[in-house]
A = this chain, B = another copy of it.
Amino acid sequence: MIRKELRVALIGQGSMGRAHSNAYAQVGHFFDTPFSIRRQVICGRNAETLGGMAARWGWEETATDWRQVIDRPDIDIVDVATPNTMHAEMAIAAARAGKIVFCEKPLAVSVEEAERMVEAARRVPNMVWFNYRRVPAIAYTRRLIEEDRIGRVFHYRAAYLQEWGNDPKRPPNWKMYRATAGSGVLGDLLSHLVDTALYLNGPIAEVSALQHTFAEGRDIDDATLLLARFANGSVGTFEATRYAVGRRNSNCFEIHGARGMARFDLEDLNRLDFHDATEPAATAGARRLLVTGPDQPYAGVFWRPGHIIGYEHTFIAALGDFLAALADGREFHPGFDDGLAVERVLDAVARSAVSRAWTQVPAGSPISPPVPKFT
């Protein structure tokens, strides 16, 4: 039985801990939900900073031992926002303790881990924070696909372009080491691209990939590039890098179908370029939609049409949608199963980069997200 007041234990006090804290604080302001969220306890290893973090974000308690927190009967939700290599142990423990489990992306650092996480979480509501599915422009792209405004897809092109890998003054953090991150851009950036691609264009059948490390001495991939064949017959390219000098945080895709095109870039996250190829040629052109409503996803939830939202709202919306699903007893996506589906692609990518061969992505899994249907 789910309580009306949901008490959250958040593990992690980094930038994701901050984004999640904000989502807990804000969800009730924007979303109608029967639940109230109580920021009960925040866990972190650095006790020095933890108090300030808790005070600032309204966490009632702090803790440095995550295991004790997970066993507390008053905790309803355990939210794992730690470095990647710690996800599996924590999330599995939380799931086994019967908690609702949220986990930052990437779900895990191996398929094997992800499979165990899915297995452990089979009986608890769960979510993986692939927050970009909740960008209104991306959710609207999915709707356009479902409404057959894109049609049979020919091409899918995605890139996550950052530049900070090339900044010698930047202090290294856990994302720069295999021991803590599991991988470089593969898990950090490509995972986002893959989740969005699975959401919008369905399963990926096979990949040919290249991984490269530009900096001497690093044990992670600074860049991962790949070609892909999707199950629906379309072909695609993916590129994730921290060496795209001149691009601050450009998470972009473009889909070309028989009936239309959609194009997005996170640096301008309220925009969607949509081209309707069924228009007469003379007046057909990419339309610059400002996806702030009306009649678009999350219209009326945040601000009036024409008033844009920011990065943080994607976390709020993910949480809002999760709570709605919870209230209705519906399955929520992206859950751990979706996180596993992403891991299977990432794993094939990494293997392909080593073997230098086209590599199949294990298919036919019942846990893949539904493929958008075209009429």
Contact = CB atoms under 8 A, between A and B. Distances in A.
A274 interface: yes
Interface of A: 15, 19, 21-22, 25-26, 28-29, 56-57, 140, 149, 154-155, 157, 159, 161-163, 166, 208-210, 212, 214, 223, 225-227, 229, 235-237, 239, 241, 243-249, 256-261, 263, 267-271, 273-277, 280-290, 292, 294-296, 302-313, 356-358
A246 B226 contact: no
A294 B281 contact: yes
A295 B285 CA distance: 14
Given A29-B22, A29-B57, A225-B235, A282 B295 contact: yes
A306 B247 CA distance: 9
Instruction: Name, among A25, A140, A209, the residue most crowded by chain B CB atoms within 10 Å (CB to CB).
Output: A25
Contact of A155 (B15, B223, B263, B287): B223
A249 B308 CA distance: 9
A230 B35 CA distance: 55
A307 B25 CA distance: 19
Contacts of A263: 246
A306 to B, nearest CB: 3
A225 B237 contact: yes
Contacts of A296: 282
A247 B263 CA distance: 11
A245 B275 CA distance: 8
A83 B288 CA distance: 33
A53 to B, nearest CB: 11
Contacts of A356: 208, 357-358
A289 B246 CA distance: 10
A287 B290 contact: no
Contacts of A235: 210, 212, 223, 225
B22 A308 contact: no
A245 B277 contact: yes
Given A29-B56, A286-B288, 12 more contacts: A25-B29, A155-B223, A210-B235, A212-B235, A225-B236, A225-B237, A249-B305, A274-B283, A285-B290, A303-B311, A307-B310, A309-B312
Given A258-B166, A290-B248, A226 B223 contact: no
A210 B235 CA distance: 9
Nearest to A352: B208
Instruction: Name, among A21, A268, A285, A356, the residue most crowded by chain B CB atoms within 10 Å (CB to CB).
Output: A285
Contacts of A267: 270, 290, 306, 308
